[in-house]
């Protein structure tokens, strides 16, 4: 439990050395602090640490403010319904971390910072449900690898949050059979984005400072975009998936969402790294920079960057006109901030057709689910897909029953063809970036109008898949709001594997040039949140 583990968790000296290196570099062009007055809706992790250092804020007070917002806006008011399980020991943990900070100093920039987790990351003190009602009491025996790393860094796991149900049938992927729909804080009638819905909504509502989502085919990108957040799908292999419910060995990634690039980088510093139980992380050995990721978050990050405008990934027509206009404004802003835009760049291929034929999660789903379920303790209510179908019956998604019939991934021509298509996409993207000597590609996250909650027969076909199917790193950045419905619009940057420093630098430059984040008017600041 948290209360018994706190004394045994030691600061990671290498991590702290990398963090303190930032201070040595200087603060002139970094986002170490942004203001002398603190506003919780926009405060970065660095801002909060500055307040901790000054004595104007404690972790206990920060958790109290978070809990007050959850009570006012998640449990009452608009009832956003982002939270599945609140950590009952969050305040106790905060007090202990405050005492530790006073006695020994902070473990890391995340010391005493509230974090929310999509409810598919294991926690040894709270159930992990994936939003599925029959798994409401499923209690893992230990923390997920990245959750342990967060706790070791001093982060406080404030809550497990709602998500598009991975096992049960719900309309348009906005909620779960366990907790119901999660509502957008910008407009409760509009789709908040899935499947990391609760993470996106909780952070847009500033219930917490940062959080984790997961991405099989855009499930970090869409909720980040629909909630005016930054969201990072890191290079496949940079972040471990041990203790995380998956639906694809090939495509599954966990990653951070936050209101600022700095907070994305600080979270990545805590969770990236090699894990003996997820050997895909072997590919990341030697790829993590010597300096912390936060050191690449610079206000002048667009200056000198060569960015290719991937117009192969634009769509046209009246349904897309408003977002396309915002995209052109975003491109102009990048040029003003010092970026060199190569516009257009083109693969010469039918990119949409390639994407449509590159997904492999449909074949891998049962095997990925079983890998997680069979590792659960004997007390778990469901420990295999077969048992899920037997116990949950019609509550289970039809696609799970369909894929359960696949006995082996060997000798499946369609599956092998999709894997080859993914390799072709990787080759195509690398050749394109090499041909034009690009630091990154840019394109809209999506250009259609975000649909109403519960709308059926709606498809996000192609959008956000290119990062998922290649495993290349991608970051979503707020790009403004549509005039027709006031909903967020976002741009997406993607680059070569292991270039997270470059992407963070570019996204930070765009953030500094535009400052598009806008707190939702539906959930105004409460007393005590500005000081």
Band (pLDDT 50/70/90 cuts) for residue 316 is confident
Residue 4 in this model has a pLDDT that exceeds 60: no
Question: At residue 168, what are phi and psi to the nearest 5 degrees?
Answer: -105, 160
Least reliable range by pLDDT among 118-132, 140-154, 258-272, 391-405 = 391-405
Give the N- to C-terminal CA distance of the chain in Å, as an integer.
34
Per-residue pLDDT of 484-524, as tens digits, reads 999 999 999 999 999 999 999 999 999 999 999 999 999 99
CA distances from 124 to 157, 200, 281, 334 (A): 11, 23, 23, 44
Residue 519 lies in a domain: no
Q: What is the mean pLDDT of residues 444-456?
A: 83
> What's the pLDDT score for residue 138?
98
Could you read off the pLDDT of 148-183 as tens digits, one per residue?
999 999 999 999 999 999 899 776 556 899 999 999
| Active site positions, annotated | 118, 195, 219
Alpha carbon of 412 to those of 247, 252, 354, 360: distances in Å? 18, 20, 19, 11
Could you report the per-residue pLDDT of 126-152, keeping only the tens digit for each?
Answer: 999 999 999 999 999 999 999 999 999
- pLDDT given for residue 446 in this prediction: 87
pLDDT of residue 464: 74
Q: Is residue 181 part of a domain?
A: yes
Number of domains in the chain: 1
> Is 431 a domain residue?
yes
Looking up residue 333, the CATH number of its domain turns out to be 3.90.1300.10
Q: Is residue 37 part of a domain?
A: no
pLDDT-based confidence at 27, cuts 50/70/90? very low
> Do the domain assignments include residue 250?
yes
Cα 300–303–307 angle (5° rounding)?
125
Residue whose entry in the numeric block shows the structure tokens 């002048």: 300
What's the pLDDT band for 12 if we cut at 50, 70, 90?
A: very low
The answer as to whether 382 is a domain residue is yes
Asked, for residue 388, whether it belongs to a domain, the answer is yes
- Residue 84 — φ and ψ, nearest 5°? -95, -50
CB 439 within 8 A of CB 473: no
Q: Tell me if 531 is assigned to some domain.
A: no
Q: By C-alpha distance, which of 196, 123, 185 is closest to 163?
A: 196
Its domain, for residue 362, covers 2-23+57-514
Average pLDDT, the chain: 92
Question: CA-to-CA distance for 129 and 133, rounded, in angstroms?
Answer: 7
Half-sphere exposure of 383 (CA within 13 A, CB side): 10
pTM summary value:
0.94
Please name the residue that has the structure tokens 């050995």. 285
* Whole-number Å distance between alpha carbons of 349 and 493: 20
Alpha helices in 436-521 (DSSP H): 465-470, 500-514
> Hey, is 476 helix, strand or coil?
strand
Q: What percent of the chain has pLDDT over 90?
A: 85
Instruction: Tell me the pLDDT tens digit for each residue of 339-391.
Output: 999 999 999 999 999 999 999 999 999 999 999 999 999 999 999 999 999 99
Sheet with 474-481: list strands edge to edge.
Answer: 83-86, 156-161, 114-118, 210-215, 253-258, 230-233, 474-481, 488-494, 440-444, 306-310, 340-345
pLDDT at 463 over 90: no
For residue 287, CA distances in Å to 277, 282, 292, 499 come to: 19, 10, 12, 9
Nearest residue to 150 (alpha-carbon basis) of 211, 63, 215, 65: 211
């Amino acid at each position: 439990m948290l209360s018994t583990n706190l004394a045994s968790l030691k600061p990671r000296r290498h991590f702290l050395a990398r963090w303190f290196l930032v201070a040595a570099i200087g603060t002139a062009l970094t986002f170490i602090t942004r203001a002398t007055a603190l506003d919780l809706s926009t405060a970065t992790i660095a801002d909060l640490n500055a307040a901790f250092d000054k004595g104007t804020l404690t972790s206990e007070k920060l958790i109290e403010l978070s809990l007050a917002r959850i009570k006012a806006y998640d449990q009452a008011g608009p009832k956003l319904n982002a939270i599945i399980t609140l950590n009952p020991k969050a305040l106790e943990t905060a007090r202990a971390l405050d005492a530790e900070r006073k006695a020994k100093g902070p473990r890391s920039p995340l010391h005493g910072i509230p974090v929310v987790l999509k409810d598919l990351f294991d926690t040894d003190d709270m159930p992990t449900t994936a939003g599925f009602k029959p798994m409401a009491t499923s209690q893992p025996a230990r923390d997920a690898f990245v959750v342990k790393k967060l706790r070791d860094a001093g982060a406080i796991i404030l809550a497990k949050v709602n998500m598009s149900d991975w096992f049960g049938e719900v309309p348009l992927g906005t909620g779960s059979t366990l907790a119901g729909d999660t509502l957008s804080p910008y407009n409760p009638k509009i789709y908040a984005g899935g499947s990391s819905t609760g993470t996106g909504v909780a952070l847009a509502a500033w219930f917490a400072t940062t959080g984790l989502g997961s991405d099989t085919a855009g499930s970090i990108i869409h909720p980040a975009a629909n909630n005016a957040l930054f969201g990072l799908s890191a290079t496949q292999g940079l972040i471990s998936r041990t203790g995380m419910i998956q639906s694809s060995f090939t495509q599954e990634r966990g990653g951070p969402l936050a209101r600022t690039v700095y907070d994305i980088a600080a979270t990545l510093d805590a969770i990236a790294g090699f894990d003996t139980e997820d050997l895909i992380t072997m590919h990341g050995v030697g790829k993590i920079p010597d300096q912390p990721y936060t050191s690449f978050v610079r206000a002048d990050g667009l200056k000198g960057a060569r960015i290719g405008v991937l117009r192969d990934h634009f769509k046209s027509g009246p349904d897309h006109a408003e977002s396309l206009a915002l995209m052109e404004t975003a491109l102009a802003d990048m040029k003003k901030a010092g970026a060199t835009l190569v516009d257009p760049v083109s693969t010469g291929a039918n990119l949409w057709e390639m994407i449509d034929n590159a997904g492999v999660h449909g074949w891998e789903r049962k095997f990925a689910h079983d890998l997680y379920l069979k590792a659960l303790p004997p007390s778990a209510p469901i420990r295999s897909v077969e048992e899920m179908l037997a116990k949950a019956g019609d509550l289970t998604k039809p696609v799970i029953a369909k894929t359960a019939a696949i006995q082996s991934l060997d000798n499946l021509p369609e599956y092998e063809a999709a894997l080859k298509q993914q390799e072709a996409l990787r080759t195509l993207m690398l050749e394109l970036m090499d041909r034009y000597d690009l630091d990154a590609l840019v394109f809209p996250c999506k250009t259609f109008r975000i649909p109403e909650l519960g709308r059926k027969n709606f498809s996000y076909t192609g959008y956000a898949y290119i990062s998922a199917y290649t495993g290349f790193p991608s970051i979503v950045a707020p790009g403004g709001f549509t005039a027709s419905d006031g909903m967020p619009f976002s741009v997406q940057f993607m680059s070569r594997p292991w270039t997270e420093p470059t992407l963070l630098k570019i996204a930070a430059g765009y953030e500094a040039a535009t400052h598009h984040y806008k707190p939702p008017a539906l959930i105004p600041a409460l007393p005590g949140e500005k000081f």
